Amino acid sequence: MTAIRVGHLYPDYLNIYADRGNIAVLARRAALRGNELRVDALGMKDAVVPGEHDLYYIGGGQDREQFLVAENLAAKAAPLVEAVTAGGAALLAVCGGYQLLGRGYRGFHGEDMPGVGLLPLETVARERRMIGDVLLECELEPGVRRTLAGFENHAGRTYLDADAEPLGRVVAGFGNDGTSGYEGCRLGRAVGTYLHGPLLPRNPWLADWLLAQALAHRAGGEPAELEPVDDALELLAHDVSAERARTRGGR
241: contact with ligand GLN by CB under 6 A: no
Q: 66 or 203: whose CB is closer to ligand GLN?
A: 66
* Distance, CA of 156 to CA of 249 (rounded, Å): 17
* Distance, CA of 167 to CA of 184 (rounded, Å): 5
133: contact with ligand GLN by CB under 6 A: no
193: contact with ligand GLN by CB under 6 A: no
154: contact with ligand GLN by CB under 6 A: yes
- Identity (one letter) of the amino acid at 235? L
Q: 62 or 180: whose CB is closer to ligand GLN?
A: 62
The closest alpha carbon to 148, from 119, 180, 173, belongs to 173
Contact yes or no for 109/142 (Cβ under 8 A): no
Kindly state the DSSP code that residue 34 receives in the 8-state scheme: T
Active site residue 196: yes
212: contact with ligand GLN by CB under 6 A: no
Size of residue set near ligand GLN by CB under 6 A: 13
Contact yes or no for 98/61 (Cβ under 8 A): no
* Distance, CA of 102 to CA of 114 (rounded, Å): 9
Please, what is the minimum distance in Å from the beta carbon of residue 91 to ligand GLN? 16
Task: Kindly indicate which of the ranges 28-36, 60-68, 75-83, 214-222 contains the residues binding ligand GLN, using the contact rule CB under 6 A.
Answer: 60-68
63: contact with ligand GLN by CB under 6 A: yes
Active site residue 185: no
Burial of 113 (0-12, 13-18, 19+ CB in 10 A): buried
The closest alpha carbon to 161, from 123, 190, 188, 114, belongs to 123
Q: 63 or 183: whose CB is closer to ligand GLN?
A: 63
Please, what is the minimum distance in Å from the beta carbon of residue 98 to ligand GLN? 8
66: contact with ligand GLN by CB under 6 A: yes
Catalytic residues, by residue number, are 95, 196
**Residues in contact with ligand GLN by the rule CB under 6 A:** 16, 60-63, 66, 95-96, 125, 153-156
